Chain A
Amino acid sequence: MNNSGAFSSMWSTITKKYSIFFVLLILIILCSLFNHNFLSTRNLTNVSRQISVTTILAFGETILIICGMLDLSSGSVLALAGVFSVSAYKITGSMTVAILVAIAVAVFCNIISGLLITRLKAPPFIATLSMLAMARGAALFYTNGQNIYQIGGYKTVGQGSIGFLPIPIIFLITILIVTWYILKHTCFGRSLYAIGGNEEAANASGINVNSNKMLAFIINGVFVGVAGVLFMSRVNAGLPNGAIGFEFQALTSSIIGGTSFSGGIGTAGGTLAGAFIVGFLNNIMNLASINSYIQQIIRGAIIALAVVYDIWSKNRRTRSVIGAIKSEK
């Protein structure tokens, strides 16, 4: 009884931990049966390229959601950072300067959101909603509502490759590793989980809640800045009206990847899997030429499904663990 109880609880921990990857695997198998082009290198590279921008945003969202916050403004801030970056490139001709400008702008916006939340105690939803409007307005004001074209070499970052790997995918992998490292191997990461799980208890354990929240926003800002450069260079223009609604795809990826909106739960790997699930679903629906309005309905339904599954599996897990403890007595 004793051993089997502990074993079954360990087994359920493992299945829970990796269930999202099983889902991804099954999806890949189904898609490849359904369409012969699905598993072609070209198609897979395409999907990865398509999802790279929103997935980078999703890593930022994951970090924020884990500590009990979120960012509704990432699409707008991306656009603002992107247009500044494009014009910085047009003036200086230096890609390094362009990237630094993008990051600086995005970090600046995120610091404002962070201050609103930590100093003025604004709810993250409201603070970043206001940033959503402000950043979009700033992007449109700065460009006078006009797209910036003829951006020359800027497009290389989004469209080029190093060897067989497209550059956006290299960025994606780098940010995946950075996120994984932060969450797994730093005090800061561990503190984020604690803050999201129970802020007051984290504070009473000596964790500086405000400075950790600020740092989470700053890191989110860096990711958004990088995403801004990739996006503008992929579309080969500075679009002040671009990336509208990207935060929702990012949030979707994160939630499907097992990040809990109640805070304290989420992983980098899960978010990546979630992003690929979203990406593959869009891809297969396009390959099957499903009406794009219907696609939107399906995407919405999948979020609901992911949340229901999250709640269901949480209940089941808690019960089986309690069972294991009782049987030990």
Chain B
Amino acid sequence: MNNNMRLTVEGIEKSFPGVKALDNINFSVKPGSVHVLCGENGAGKSTLMKIINGIYKADKGNIYIDGQQVVVKNPQHARELGVSMIFQELNYIPEMTIEENLFLGNLPKTKFGRVDWKKIREKTLELLEAERLSYKPTTKLCELSVSDIQMLEITKAVSYESKIIIMDEPTSAITYKETERLFTKISELKARGTSIIYISHKMDEIFRIADEITVLRDGTVIETHDKDDIDINTVIKLMVGRELSDEFPKEEIDIGEKVLEVKNLTRNGFFHNVNFNAKRGEIIGFSGLMGAGRTEVMRCLFGLDETDNGTILINNKPIKIPNVRTAIKAGLAMLSEDRRRYGIIPVRSVKENATLASLPKFFYSGRLHRNKENATTARMFKDMNVKTPTFETTIQALSGGNQQKVLLAKWMICDPDILILDEPTRGIDVGAKYEIYKLMMSLVKEGKTLIMISSELPELIGMCDRMYVMAKGEITGELQREEFSQEAIMKFATGFEKQEAISCE
């Protein structure tokens, strides 16, 4: 037992009915360091963190904090022990103010048992000042951005004087700039001696901030390394347990004629005069900071929102797209960035989710053709390598990567010519990402056109043939594959530079 460690877990085991989620887990976190946990979805990272945070109870094993053995009873108790956790999905009440949020579940009371709002205000101001955040205590959370709220969560963790802060994929919903802010914060915390356990799928991030890296696979610790002793490819290999030949399976394909042309598309207040085109067999990228208007453009193209101005030509024919039905008929499909909001029907089966966008293919001449529905689903799931116990399983029971593949299957059943992918790999693990990239390649080989929006530059650079960059509701640049570089993209994305040639002739 090493007393110099901030946190040590020893021989942790945890089973759920029918599965061993964690098996003999040992690892330690040094004081004032960032310890990154990586592993595919289902590797056991979240289960382990939930045990440390007191949400689950381990079947076996010990936890030591600063050399003292502890039994964590619940998250409240964990907080008292100096452990706090920032969850991947931020849970907050939009109508609540900053000060209410900071002291939720921990409201100071006067001696008569009334909530002591004066004290709350004082302490909030104190905390905000200490963290150099310029919000008013009475601002409602719904007025803040995701990264603001994340900063607030960190402030909250700091206010508990946590010794250990667990961050579960904190950057999955924020932009580069906001990520920078988070990283600055993390180095400050480190300097104060706080230990951070950081869970992430993003390799570039991991290698920027990690001091140590532990890889989990199938509920066991595979290896722990100092950052300097290991490289990206090794980590990926350890995570998936096999060699991935290349991170991006890009191949050169013959690019055909123009299939989509968008001219002067405008939605007042969101974007204006957007011009772009896409050719058969091409993967077009859309890059830009969050809020640049990329998703909004695609939503209009797909008939989800109304446009104020502009023309859309598909195969050189102008077309009006007032609703999604029309868009699907015109050969468009769109995989949404927000899987839970615009993607899955959680309580319905994987099969029903898969066939939802092409119901008339299965309901005709007065009845449901069940065999046809099953056969089509089976074929698609095989192509997409969807792992599901049965077709009747509700989609909410699948992992994020599998849900995403079911949703891709849904759009493939429509057999679109142009597929819009909005953040197709967000929040899914390396193995599933690679499968989605491979699938993208096989689609363009069939002569389809892909439009990919992504906030991860490496995947845009790795997969696209051509890229448009947006800033503040305008297209600020167009780059050919040979011009791709992080610097070039960032210049256009931050709006420092704008290509004049882009505007419509």
Using a CB–CB cutoff of 8 Å, the interface residues on chain A facing chain B are 1, 4-6, 8-10, 13, 184-187, 190-191, 193-194, 197-198, 200-208, 260, 262-265, 317-329
Expressed in whole angstroms, the Cα–Cα distance for A198 and B359 within the complex equals 17
Instruction: Report B319 CB to chain A, min CB distance, Å.
Output: 16
Contact A206–B218 (Cβ < 8 Å): no
**If A187-B363, A208-B325 touch, does A324 touch B218 (CB 8 Å cutoff)?**
no
Interface: B108 (CB within 8 A): no
Partner of A206, one of B42, B325, B346, B347: B325
A194: nearest chain-B partner, CB-CB: B345
Contact A206–B357 (Cβ < 8 Å): yes
A316: nearest chain-B partner, CB-CB: B17
Partner of A205, one of B387, B394, B410: B410
Question: What chain B residues lie within 8 Å of A318 (beta carbons)?
Answer: 394, 396-397
**In the complex, the 7 A-B pairs of residues with the closest C-beta atoms, listed nearest first:** A197-B345, A321-B397, A326-B19, A323-B18, A206-B324, A205-B357, A264-B347
Expressed in whole angstroms, the Cα–Cα distance for A320 and B18 within the complex equals 8
A326: nearest chain-B partner, CB-CB: B19
Q: Mark B389-412, 1 if CB is under 8 A from A, else 0.
A: 110111011110010000000100
Interface of A, helix, strand, loop or mixed by DSSP = helix
Contact A206–B328 (Cβ < 8 Å): yes
Contact A319–B17 (Cβ < 8 Å): yes
Contact B389–A203 (Cβ < 8 Å): no
Expressed in whole angstroms, the Cα–Cα distance for A5 and B328 within the complex equals 37
Question: What chain B residues lie within 8 Å of A184 (beta carbons)?
Answer: 368
**If A185-B367, A191-B359, A205-B356 touch, does A323 touch B19 (CB 8 Å cutoff)?**
yes
Expressed in whole angstroms, the Cα–Cα distance for A208 and B327 within the complex equals 13
Expressed in whole angstroms, the Cα–Cα distance for A9 and B387 within the complex equals 14
B43: nearest chain-A partner, CB-CB: A329
B219: nearest chain-A partner, CB-CB: A326
Question: What chain B residues lie within 8 Å of A186 (beta carbons)?
Answer: 363, 368
Contact A200–B42 (Cβ < 8 Å): no
Expressed in whole angstroms, the Cα–Cα distance for A197 and B353 within the complex equals 10
Contact A204–B304 (Cβ < 8 Å): yes
Question: What chain B residues lie within 8 Å of A190 (beta carbons)?
Answer: 352, 356, 359, 363, 368
Contact A197–B347 (Cβ < 8 Å): yes
A1: nearest chain-B partner, CB-CB: B18
Question: What chain B residues lie within 8 Å of A322 (beta carbons)?
Answer: 16, 397
A206: nearest chain-B partner, CB-CB: B324
In the complex, which residues 329-379 of chain B have their Cβ closer than 8 Å to any Cβ of chain A? 334, 336, 341-348, 352, 356-357, 359-360, 363, 366-368
Question: What chain A residues lie within 8 Å of B457 (beta carbons)?
Answer: none
Question: What chain A residues lie within 8 Å of B327 (beta carbons)?
Answer: 206
Partner of A194, one of B323, B341, B348, B392: B348
Expressed in whole angstroms, the Cα–Cα distance for A6 and B366 within the complex equals 33
Interface: B187 (CB within 8 A): no
Question: What chain A residues lie within 8 Å of B398 (beta carbons)?
Answer: 325
Question: What chain B residues lie within 8 Å of A325 (beta carbons)?
Answer: 42, 387-389, 397-399, 402
Question: What chain B residues lie within 8 Å of A265 (beta carbons)?
Answer: 347
Expressed in whole angstroms, the Cα–Cα distance for A322 and B47 within the complex equals 13
Interface: B439 (CB within 8 A): no
Expressed in whole angstroms, the Cα–Cα distance for A318 and B393 within the complex equals 9
Interface: B173 (CB within 8 A): no
Question: What chain A residues lie within 8 Å of B359 (beta carbons)?
Answer: 187, 190-191
Contact B389–A324 (Cβ < 8 Å): yes
Known: A10-B390, A193-B348, A328-B387; 18 extra A-B contacts, CB below 8 A, are: A185-B366, A185-B368, A186-B368, A190-B356, A191-B359, A197-B346, A198-B344, A198-B345, A200-B341, A201-B345, A204-B336, A205-B356, A206-B324, A206-B357, A318-B394, A325-B42, A325-B397, A325-B399
